[in-house]
Structure 1
Amino acid sequence: MLPPSVFESAFNSSPIGKYLLSPTPEALILAVNDAFLKACSRRREDLLGKSLFVAFPADPDDPASSTNEAELRASFARVLETGTPDLLPVQRYPIPLEGPDGTIAFEERFWSAYSAPVFGPDGAVTCISHTTKDVTEQIRSERALRESENRFRALTTAGQVVYRMNADWTELRELDGRGFLRDTDSPRSFWLQDYIPDDEQARVHAAVGEAIRTGRVFELEHRVRRIDGSDGWALSRAVPICDAHGRVVEWIGAASDITERKAAEEKLRESDRRKDEFLAMLAHELRNPIAPISAAAALLQRMQLDEALVRRTSQIIARQVGHMTALIDDLLDVSRVTRGLVELERVPLDLRDVLQDAVEQVAPLVQARRHTLALELPSQATIVVGDKKRLVQVVANLLNNAAKYTPEGGCLAVRAGAQDGGACVEVSDNGIGMAPELTGRVFDLFAQAERSADRSLGGLGLGLALVKSLVELHGGTVGCESAGLGQGSRFLACLPCLSGDTAPQGEQDDEPMAQAPAALRVLVVDDNVDAAVMLAMLLEASGHEVLVEHGARAALARAHEARPQVFLLDIGLPEMDGKELARRLRAEPATRDALLVAVTGYGQDSDREQIMAAGFDHHLVKPVDMERLEAILAGAA
């Protein structure tokens, strides 16, 4: 008999959405697999233990939603009453999604669903297994195709062509073509070249010949020449009409405009191609720093290393880890921004301060590539309302892009000023430039692959996508110009501008100043043994007394014995997660006042909010910034 873990693995790895519900009117969600979480954009901890109808309520502004809920409840009732599975036809069931501003909006979704009883040893129904498949895209595609066909915009852009053709396809008579043929009262000779582009005629002629020879239905998607001279796509279908002896005497056919559908398919293919290229780039970029880290680790395992070699090796490891961290931060950042999960701190800012901070940030790269950088600031304050950190990121990303795509010893320039009632930042270079067709999509995700196929310039091509998203979040616009390959590029970011008499907000220092920490008793809890041991070694090197545990229950027992002053807790722990462990530590008199620091790979804003709500004092993302951790410990001491 297979162990339960096999069934659990099969349940979670299923490509089709599944969840288990309690056999009660509330239909509590007992388990849910990854496919359903992805389909509904939820997390497992947000659903478990909740009623299905609370987690996915009816839309109060959509009367049909209550009907859908009633149908689903009726299906569950049939399963419980009959003890047999129940299949629901495709249902329209909108689900609530949180928007960028925190408001909840319902998104139209279509699902096919199947419910089945799960019996216990006593023969009673212990739960309902509910299987759902999101068929929204299929329904939308079918709807779009129907609308396209019903608009009668096939070959003429004015309507669908319905026609009759004689047995050997030499004479054509229009039945309903909205004026496609000049003479609809009598047949005319059918000339393929009148309707089909030259390079498509051989394929269409072969398909016609096959239909005539076999007497089967003719059906083909092909390009057409419209009456207005433009090219489009049509789905042509003709049915043979036979006499009493089974001989084909004519064909009745129709051609539907599928130009929009074909354009959408091509766009999807292009998107898939670029995503594949991006994944290949990501693998390449992550392998690059792994190679020197691996070599450094192997070197450190050898005996008789002198201090200088150890220092140089550790610097290589730190540098490469920093590079990998930056790549991961870029991925998370673009995900947060493009999904509208970033909250901006909107305060009045002088654009000159933003530019100076960005230039300072990029100075090491500019100097390393021996570029000259001209900075032209407006003589008077140019005030915008925005998030200084994010606007500095915008300008720094534009400068990084210019520095990377300009050969060594090049010229970069940054200018700012008022333009058309707004504040504009221009970043230009005399670098490699780009082809005209790329300027229109250079701000798209993954566009970098087309500028550097040999991967010599590195990066993931996310910087400019972040620029566009962040500028648009500030109510601004971005643009790009290039005279062509080898002729440099010019990027422009424009923001709404305030009057000059609005005072900008002063600088604030969010991070505590690092101090030499006094010795503390610290308990590190992480189920990753290597990560826990290395962090403990670093803290011991700073003079702290460090204890290590790899499970939550063992950590609770150790906390009672040793009473640490500081807890560094991983969130993804076995037995209970780090948030629950934090709650229990806060509930115990001996540890309620201890300093709790979350050390985790979960770095989204929503993750941080949940972690802090569980009782943590600080939230650090792996790999840990040791300077920040030491500053936190110094504050605790």
Structure 2
Amino acid sequence: MNHPSLFESVFNSSPIGNYLLSPTPDAIILAVNDTFLKASSRTREELVGMSLFAAFPRNPDDPEDRGEIDLRRSLACAVDTAKPDSLPAIRYPIRVELPNGEVVFEERFWSAVSTPIFGEDGSIVCISHTTSDVTEQVRAAAALRESEKRFRALTSATADVIYRMSPDWTQVRQLEGRGFIKDTADPNEMWLDEYIPQGDHDLVHQAIDEAVSNKQAFELEHRVRRIDGSIGWTLSRAVPMLDAHGAIYEWIGAASDITERKEAEAKLRDTDRRKDEFVAMLAHELRNPLAPIRAAAELLQMAHQDPQRVRQTSQIITRQVMHMTNLINDLLDVSRVTNGLVTLDKAPLNIRHVLMEAVEQVTPLMQSRQHHLAIHLPPGSTVVSGDAKRLVQVMTNILSNAAKYTPARGNIELRTEVHPSQVLITVTDNGIGMAPELTGRVFDLFTQDERTSDRSSGGLGLGLALVKSLVELHGGTVSCESPGPGEGSRFTVGLPRQDAGDQVLAPQAAEHGAGVAAAPLRIMVVDDNVDAATMLAILLEAAGHQVTVEHRPEDALERIREARPQVCLLDIGLPGMDGHELARRLRQLPETADALLVAVTGYGQEETRAHALASGFDHYFVKPIDMAALHQLLAAASAG
């Protein structure tokens, strides 16, 4: 048998790259097998007889190319120790000449074993150097590490909790992420018992059973124990991992903390419910005055009514219209305040005057319910800066609220305490009180306590919301306290105090009488609402004025020369040409250039008032008209 031929055959057919090197520092290539030639894209003629490091030089432009250093160290170790030396996967770029003549270094990774070969005398005759190209394995491992790094970064960055579950969902195998879900000391504990509140077990079990049975994704919103011990909400999604036989061996999922969203949804539902209750109550409150108004109107149509009965009926209509007007004004006030459309007319005010005017307004209500009102005011002058009308409105609302919710013959106390930097005003009653949870939201819009079906206390849940907004506009605070149902309530308003020195107090508003006399005037009423125009004309004629009524703006313009009105009461929402345009045209006519133009409209917004005054109107009245104020205006016009 030819042993050299057999050795050469085995050497060349080995699937592992191999070459024989001289045991000298320059490592001359003595032989190289076909596998290595194929891996290195070289020929035997190019390599045999050359130094290994000349055949495969390092890249001079790559400072990280340490392949030659590591390989020299390994070969030297094999020679010095006379034992094989292994190299792990080392980076050893290979010089490659491209078809265009350009030389590049292709990044490659190799694992190698250098084994000394001994002669008969025991000396090392050569080094057998076996190599394996592990470039793909190294790159795959690097890609895996990078993928794992990205996964770790993702789980650290996300607000979600990433989890792995056993196939039957009885055990948590791993939790990653921000960890809003409660931790567990023992990962083998039952998952549901540890993380899910008892009340949601059935819901979660049902969704899990369905997902497991159908081998489909699990997705469910449910409650969960949070890491701070509270009960929150999570949106949990998980997908099944299937083995080669289609069996579930694990679940991978993510849980999102949706507690804030669920709380916001609950708050919206509560607000929507309270809005619906408010609309129903508004309808009830508006129907209440409509019933006596309708009955009174029918009574006035009957013949042979004595003057006393007519006067009594008229008083009923007036009171009920005022009640409806106050309801509508509250609605408009809340809308203006909450949208930031209210401008305060601030001036130094004596708080005593504000409080006494508010008491005067609620006295009829308290007298009708036989309440005892105790008033404790500071002596002298205590000054705050504010809008007198709005502060009176605040205190009137609080006192009215106390009166409404205090049974007949109950006690109400108004007390003022003066501190260096603020004035505290408290209204205390021994009325029905309220539950502790209501005191925190009693100033929210549409908020009311439980009420009986007759709505005997009245109100729309607007007054206290308006109080809070107006007090805060004044830089103050308002709060509510109650020991509980049946224990009464205390409302406290705090307003910044001002130094009374060098302050000029605003004068109190004068009362406007309803029967101010006025010399007869020529008045034109323009309103497309026939009934409203007719009744207004009757009232004005009863006061001695000469009144012309038109329902269309075009007809009004045609009649100007004949009527030559001194005062024009114009509706804004007229058909075709609105009141703004009509006012502008009247200002251009010589007959009405100096006439007193008064807007009469159902629109009460501040921007509508400003638009009317810019159009040429002198005054602005919101329907239903305050006739006392109108008579006073007409008296001033006739006197001028």
TM-score, length basis structure 1: 0.72
Query: Deviation at 1:519?
Result: 1.9
* Distance of aligned partners of 1:510 and 1:152 in 2 relative to their CA distance in 1, 3 Å threshold: farther
RMSD: 2.3
Once structures 1 and 2 are overlaid, which stretch shifts more, 252-261 or 557-566? 557-566
The count of corresponding residues between Structure 1 and Structure 2 is 482
CA distance in 2 between partners of 1:537 and 1:280 (Å): 35
Question: One-letter code of the match for 1:591?
Answer: T
Answering whether residue 262 of structure 2 is matched by residue 262 of structure 1, we say yes
3-state SS in 1 of match to 2:549: strand
Match of 2:609 in 1: 608
3-state SS in 2 of match to 1:460: coil
Match of 1:470 in 2: 470
* Distance of aligned partners of 1:248 and 1:392 in 2 relative to their CA distance in 1, 3 Å threshold: same
Deviation readout 1:541-591 (Å, 9 max, x if unpaired): 222221111111111001133212211100000111101100000001111
3-state SS in 1 of match to 2:254: strand
Match of 2:102 in 1: none
3-state SS in 2 of match to 1:450: coil
Match of 2:630 in 1: 629
Alignment of 1:325-336 (within 5 A): 325-336=325-336
Contact 1:449-1:461 within 8 A present in 2 as well: no
CA distance in 1 between partners of 2:345 and 2:576 (Å): 38
CA distance in 2 between partners of 1:210 and 1:521 (Å): 84
Alignment of 1:499-510 (within 5 A): 499-509=499-509
Deviation readout 1:441-481 (Å, 9 max, x if unpaired): 11111122535664111121211111111110110101111
* Distance of aligned partners of 1:214 and 1:503 in 2 relative to their CA distance in 1, 3 Å threshold: same
* Distance of aligned partners of 1:509 and 1:230 in 2 relative to their CA distance in 1, 3 Å threshold: closer
Match of 2:310 in 1: 310
* Distance of aligned partners of 1:570 and 1:212 in 2 relative to their CA distance in 1, 3 Å threshold: same
Query: Deviation at 1:412?
Result: 1.0
Query: Deviation at 1:304?
Result: 2.8
Query: Deviation at 1:509?
Result: 4.1
Question: One-letter code of the match for 2:577?
Answer: M
3-state SS in 1 of match to 2:448: helix
* Distance of aligned partners of 1:562 and 1:483 in 2 relative to their CA distance in 1, 3 Å threshold: same
Answering whether residue 321 of structure 2 is matched by residue 321 of structure 1, we say yes
* Distance of aligned partners of 1:491 and 1:459 in 2 relative to their CA distance in 1, 3 Å threshold: same
Deviation readout 1:259-318 (Å, 9 max, x if unpaired): 111111111111111111111110100011111111222222233333222222222111
Match of 2:544 in 1: 543
Deviation readout 1:585-630 (Å, 9 max, x if unpaired): 0001111111111111111222111111111111111011111111
CA distance in 2 between partners of 1:367 and 1:182 (Å): 65
Contact 1:152-1:161 within 8 A present in 2 as well: no
Match of 1:216 in 2: 216
Deviation readout 1:104-139 (Å, 9 max, x if unpaired): xxxxxxxxxxxxxxxxxxxxxxxxxxxxxxxxxxxx
CA distance in 2 between partners of 1:500 and 1:585 (Å): 49
Match of 1:405 in 2: 405
Match of 2:206 in 1: 206
Deviation readout 1:184-203 (Å, 9 max, x if unpaired): 9xx74643101111111111
Match of 2:599 in 1: 598
Query: Deviation at 1:365?
Result: 1.3
Query: Deviation at 1:341?
Result: 1.3
Contact 1:350-1:504 within 8 A present in 2 as well: no
Match of 2:440 in 1: 440
CA distance in 1 between partners of 2:155 and 2:536 (Å): 66
Deviation readout 1:350-401 (Å, 9 max, x if unpaired): 2122222221222111211111111111123221111111111111111111
Match of 2:193 in 1: 193
Contact 1:349-1:503 within 8 A present in 2 as well: no
Answering whether residue 488 of structure 2 is matched by residue 491 of structure 1, we say no
Match of 1:343 in 2: 343
Deviation readout 1:35-60 (Å, 9 max, x if unpaired): xxxxxxxxxxxxxxxxxxxxxxxxxx
CA distance in 2 between partners of 1:439 and 1:452 (Å): 19
CA distance in 1 between partners of 2:420 and 2:301 (Å): 63
Match of 2:379 in 1: 379
Contact 1:152-1:257 within 8 A present in 2 as well: no
CA distance in 2 between partners of 1:400 and 1:298 (Å): 32
Once structures 1 and 2 are overlaid, which stretch shifts more, 245-254 or 467-476? 245-254
CA distance in 1 between partners of 2:475 and 2:328 (Å): 27
Contact 2:169-2:191 within 8 A present in 1 as well: no
Contact 2:526-2:556 within 8 A present in 1 as well: yes
Question: One-letter code of the match for 2:584?
Answer: R
Contact 1:152-1:160 within 8 A present in 2 as well: no
3-state SS in 1 of match to 2:443: coil
CA distance in 2 between partners of 1:322 and 1:586 (Å): 34
Question: One-letter code of the match for 1:242?
Answer: L
CA distance in 1 between partners of 2:544 and 2:368 (Å): 37
CA distance in 2 between partners of 1:371 and 1:467 (Å): 23
3-state SS in 1 of match to 2:498: coil
CA distance in 2 between partners of 1:305 and 1:510 (Å): 37
Question: One-letter code of the match for 1:553?
Answer: E
CA distance in 1 between partners of 2:383 and 2:240 (Å): 73
CA distance in 2 between partners of 1:374 and 1:323 (Å): 27
Question: One-letter code of the match for 1:583?
Answer: R
* Distance of aligned partners of 1:502 and 1:337 in 2 relative to their CA distance in 1, 3 Å threshold: farther
Match of 1:96 in 2: none
* Distance of aligned partners of 1:490 and 1:177 in 2 relative to their CA distance in 1, 3 Å threshold: same
Match of 2:252 in 1: 252
TM-score, length basis structure 2: 0.72
Question: One-letter code of the match for 1:537?
Answer: I
Structure 1 residue ranges without an equivalent (≥5): 1-149
Identical amino acids, percent of aligned pairs = 62
* Distance of aligned partners of 1:429 and 1:281 in 2 relative to their CA distance in 1, 3 Å threshold: same
3-state SS in 2 of match to 1:620: strand
Match of 1:566 in 2: 567
Contact 2:348-2:506 within 8 A present in 1 as well: no
| Structure showing greater Rg | 2
CA distance in 2 between partners of 1:291 and 1:531 (Å): 19
Contact 2:155-2:162 within 8 A present in 1 as well: no
Query: Deviation at 1:524?
Result: 0.8
